[in-house]
DNA sequence: ATGAAAGCGCTAACAC
DNA sequence: GTGTTAGCGCTTTCAT
């Protein structure tokens, strides 16, 4: 039996090694390993056995260069630490797992210049498609996206002009609808609690839609409070205490995300504040975590997994030019408002 | 001015295009773009300007094939949905961001055969190193790791034999220490709540260490309860209710992770159960989320960010053969026990 | 300081 | 069914 890859020799095995060890041409070995073209059963067996015995791992770099095909999909998102993007990833993976395509993630931390760098880096690997969060990008990023010549799907947000395809929800509308629901229930002195992130365009648009709908009813946000860093749950508690101390007459608190909303809810329960009688609460995202809280927080789901799925489908269809109806280039999902136990009705 | 990359022609630009447009050889363009070797300032300027104007993005595939160098580090972990691995990633990124190396993540979902597939896939891109969670792998995976000829760091767990380097904590010891602390405080009728995951070896080892230390004092786990899927916080609530209904005489509950522990804590508070008087609670991980709870849950931190940092340092030192003292091949971190408010002392 | 030639490991296209 | 040839777009090495 031919010895296994010699431990002292650290040159990785090549197709040629398998070819020589099995007495078959490199080309045929390549065909076997990719299940391409006709190969007799006997040679196929021999090649597979040899490749396995030697521990051959194909070199995708060479393969990609020769075939001009890279089965990678660049996924560019702000962060993995809040619960929203992991769920988007789940949706993307669920779809791509059925294809030869593979997601590769790059993180921007909500910084446009980092997004630009990450995009450049990923495009230099010549992926089959790009899924990127948001519609706001630097000029250079937009130029790269346009020039890449591959399918691009911008996700999460539909309030703006996409470069190519887009899948998401309207955050302005989400903010407006929440405001309307709050007003309809008779709340009038409304506080807003959010993150200090001027570059989180989705949160900004929700807030804009929110204030816009309030303004239509002649109402203004009574007080606001912002945070950055740290445990969002804890910050939610602290901010709630701060804002209620400063503006004790507030009768509603709208949080820009569920985690701080959950903190606020726990704080109110601790303090024995009557929710939603004395004060109502609502947030945004619809994260699973909320299920475990003592009360259900009012929220609006962001359709995260669905966005991931749809985006991946667009990439898959276009990159693999699978037959059938091509998916539309613009998919606007509709978030549902859950009243939970913290928004009376 | 030469026109920008023609929109109708979707062939990506090559070094040759930049070479022709700038009137400099491909080789010199390459040198400029990589800051290698001596290039006169005038040509450097001209090349950079041309590359930018054309929107040239280098092809790393070709570059990697020619140079036999890939600045990618494969990171293979079970999941991103619990809070533990995102923090490990933060540690890894913090270190790699200072180097030319870049992490690429693959997810196994705690399935050995998936780990094998992911590893194969990643190795086929010829990364500069591998960081992989756990010490338990299929035979084929171990063969691949050994044969890859690149630095390998197994992380999280130190109870076993690594292929190469290892950074982590002893989960057996973590379980033992928690058991000793619980016994020392006089608790005797102890329940265990965990996940239905025979393949989560770290959780298994913690449990083994836990029961082993109890056994030394002649104590056995009185009752246990397991869950799978769904919101961990909610499951923690439900399981706690179930186990306390079935075994009302329990005086301590040990949870295999913080999220279900937090659910259990919220349940006990809801029910007005005296914690830690009537019943004590403890969990594992030290996740940030716990900071926002009404009471601090007793837990043991898993040194997640530190593990990521140390692992990345080992890879960076070895792959870039930076000078200086090479880090040791085996780093055993010591988790700290936080008593919080749910384990009396 | 710059260029020319050779080749990285594989696959497309074409023979046989 | 199998083999041969010619690159893929870069970088290495060596020449100038």
Protein-contacted positions of strand D (CB under 7 Å): 1-5, 7-13
Contact of B104 with B126, CB cutoff 8 Å = no
Residue A296 touches partner B, C-beta closer than 8 Å: no
Contact of B168 with B157, CB cutoff 8 Å = yes
- pLDDT-wise least confident of B140-154, B224-238, B320-334: B320-334
| Residue B69: DSSP 8-state | -
The spacing between the Cα labelled CA in B113 and the C1' in D5, in angstroms, equals 39
Residue B90 CB-density burial (10 A; 0-12 exposed, 13-18 middle, 19+ buried): middle
Q: How confident is the model at residue B299 (pLDDT cuts 50, 70, 90)?
A: very high
**3-state helix vs strand vs coil in chain A, percent to 5:** 45, 15, 40
Is it the case that residue B49 has pLDDT exceeding 80?
yes
Q: Is the CB of A31 under 7 A from strand D?
A: yes
Residue B196 CB-density burial (10 A; 0-12 exposed, 13-18 middle, 19+ buried): exposed
For A105-136, the pLDDT digits (tens) are: 999 999 999 999 999 999 999 999 999 999 99
Closest CA to A83 of A277, A267, A232: A232
Cβ of A314: how many Cβ atoms within 10 Å?
A: 26
For A144, the closest chain B residue by CA position comes to: B55
User: Bridge-partner residues for B113, per DSSP?
Assistant: none
What integer pLDDT is reported at residue A83 of this predicted model?
Answer: 84
Residue A232 touches partner B, C-beta closer than 8 Å: yes
| B 97-126 residues, CB < 7 A, strand D | none
Measure the CA–CA gap between A21 and A8, rounded to whole angstroms: 19
Rama region for A241: left / alpha / beta (φ>0; ψ in -120 to 50; rest):
alpha
The spacing between the Cα labelled CA in A154 and the C1' in D12, in angstroms, equals 40
Nearest neighbour of B270 by CB, restricted to A57, A147, A294: A294
Q: What's the average model confidence in pLDDT over A270-274?
A: 96
Q: Do B57 and A144 touch (CB under 8 A)?
A: yes
For A218-264, the pLDDT digits (tens) are: 999 999 999 998 899 999 999 999 999 999 999 999 999 999 999 99
What integer pLDDT is reported at residue B322 of this predicted model?
Answer: 64
What integer pLDDT is reported at residue A11 of this predicted model?
Answer: 87
Is it the case that residue A8 has pLDDT exceeding 80?
no
> Which residue pairs from A61-65 have beta carbons closer than 8 angstroms and sit at least 24 positions apart in sequence?
A61/B61, A61/B64, A61/B65, A61/B70, A61/B125, A61/B126, A62/B65, A64/A126, A64/B61, A65/B61, A65/B62, A65/B65
Nearest protein residue to the C1' atom of D8, measured from CA: A66
Residue A100 touches partner B, C-beta closer than 8 Å: no
Is it the case that residue A10 has pLDDT exceeding 50?
yes
Distance of CA A297 to the CA centre of its chain: 23
Nearest protein residue to the C1' atom of D9, measured from CA: B62
Q: What's the average model confidence in pLDDT over B40-65?
A: 96
Residue A149 touches partner B, C-beta closer than 8 Å: yes
Q: Per the structure block, which two tokens stand in for B338?
A: 């936080």
Residues of chain B positioned with their CB less than 8 A from the CB of A230: 288, 291
For B190-249, the pLDDT digits (tens) are: 999 999 999 999 999 999 999 999 999 999 999 999 999 889 999 999 999 999 999 999
A15-59 carries CATH number 1.20.140.10: no
pTM: 0.94
What integer pLDDT is reported at residue B82 of this predicted model?
Answer: 82
Specify the 3-state DSSP secondary structure of A263.
helix
User: Bridge-partner residues for B254, per DSSP?
Assistant: B192, B282
Pairing mode of beta strands A165-169, A152-157 = parallel
Domain ranges of chain B: 15-59, 69-170+305-332, 172-299
Q: Per the structure block, which two tokens stand in for B223?
A: 């009752």
Residues of chain B positioned with their CB less than 8 A from the CB of A86: 80-81, 86
The spacing between the Cα labelled CA in A25 and the C1' in C16, in angstroms, equals 15
What integer pLDDT is reported at residue A325 of this predicted model?
Answer: 74
Q: How confident is the model at residue A6 (pLDDT cuts 50, 70, 90)?
A: very low
For A296, the closest chain B residue by CA position comes to: B234
Q: Per the structure block, which two tokens stand in for A281?
A: 């609460």
Task: Give me the CATH topology for the region A172-299.
Answer: Rossmann fold (3.40.50)
A15-59 and A69-170+305-332 share one fold: no
| Residue A59: DSSP 8-state | -
Q: Is the CB of B65 under 7 A from strand D?
A: yes
For B17-39, the pLDDT digits (tens) are: 999 999 999 999 999 999 998 89
What integer pLDDT is reported at residue B9 of this predicted model?
Answer: 57
Q: What is the CATH number of domain A69-170+305-332?
A: 3.40.50.2300
Residues of chain A positioned with their CB less than 8 A from the CB of B262: 292
CB < 8 Å from A in window 41-60 of B = 55, 57-60
The spacing between the Cα labelled CA in A59 and the C1' in D3, in angstroms, equals 22
Range among A112-126, A283-297, A316-330, B309-323 rated most confident: A112-126
Residues of chain A positioned with their CB less than 8 A from the CB of B55: 143-144, 147
Residue A114 touches partner B, C-beta closer than 8 Å: no
Q: Nearest 5°: phi and psi at A261?
A: -60, -40
Best mutation site among A3, A30, A86, A124 for testing chain B: the one with the most B CBs within 10 Å?
A124
Nearest protein residue to the C1' atom of C8, measured from CA: B66
* Distance between B184 CA and the closest CA of chain A, angstroms: 31
What integer pLDDT is reported at residue A327 of this predicted model?
Answer: 77
Cβ of A2: how many Cβ atoms within 10 Å?
A: 10
CB < 8 Å from B in window 162-221 of A = none
The spacing between the Cα labelled CA in B45 and the C1' in C16, in angstroms, equals 53
Q: How confident is the model at residue A324 (pLDDT cuts 50, 70, 90)?
A: low
User: Average model confidence (pLDDT) for chain A?
Assistant: 94
């Amino acid at each position: 039996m031919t010895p296994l890859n010699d431990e002292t020799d650290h040159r990785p095995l090549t197709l040629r090694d398998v070819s020589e060890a099995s007495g078959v041409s490199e080309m045929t070995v390549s065909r076997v390993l990719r299940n391409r073209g006709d190969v007799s059963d006997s040679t196929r067996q021999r090649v597979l056995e040899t490749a396995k015995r030697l521990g051959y791992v194909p070199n995708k770099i060479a393969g990609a260069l020769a075939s001009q095909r890279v089965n990678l999909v660049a996924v560019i998102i702000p962060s993995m630490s809040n619960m929203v993007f992991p769920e988007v990833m789940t949706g993307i993976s669920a779809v791509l797992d059925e294809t030869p395509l593979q997601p590769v993630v790059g993180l921007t931390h909500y910084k446009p210049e980092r997004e630009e760098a990450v995009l450049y880096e990923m495009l230099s690997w010549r992926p089959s498609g790009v899924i990127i969060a948001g519609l706001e990008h630097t000029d250079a990023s937009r130029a790269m996206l346009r020039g890449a010549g591959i399918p691009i799907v911008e996700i999460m947000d539909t309030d703006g002009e996409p470069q190519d395809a887009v899948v998401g929800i309207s955050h302005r509308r989400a903010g407006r609808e929440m405001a309307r629901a709050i007003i309809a229930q008779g709340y009038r002195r409304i506080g807003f609690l959010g993150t200090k992130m001027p570059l989180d365009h989705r949160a900004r648009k929700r807030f804009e839609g929110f204030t816009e709908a309030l303004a239509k009813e002649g109402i203004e946000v009574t007080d606001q409070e912002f945070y950055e860093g740290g445990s969002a749950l804890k910050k939610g508690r602290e901010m709630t205490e701060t804002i209620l101390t400063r503006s004790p007459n507030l009768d509603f608190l709208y949080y820009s995300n569920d985690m701080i909303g959950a903190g606020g809810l726990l704080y109110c329960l601790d303090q024995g504040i009557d929710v939603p009688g004395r004060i109502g609460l609502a947030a945004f995202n619809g994260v699973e975590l909320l299920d475990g809280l003592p009360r259900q927080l009012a929220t609006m789901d962001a359709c995260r997994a669905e966005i991931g799925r749809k985006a991946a489908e667009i990439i898959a269809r276009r990159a693999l030019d699978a037959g059938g109806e091509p998916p539309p280039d613009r998919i606007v999902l509709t978030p549902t408002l859950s009243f939970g136990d913290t928004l009376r009705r």
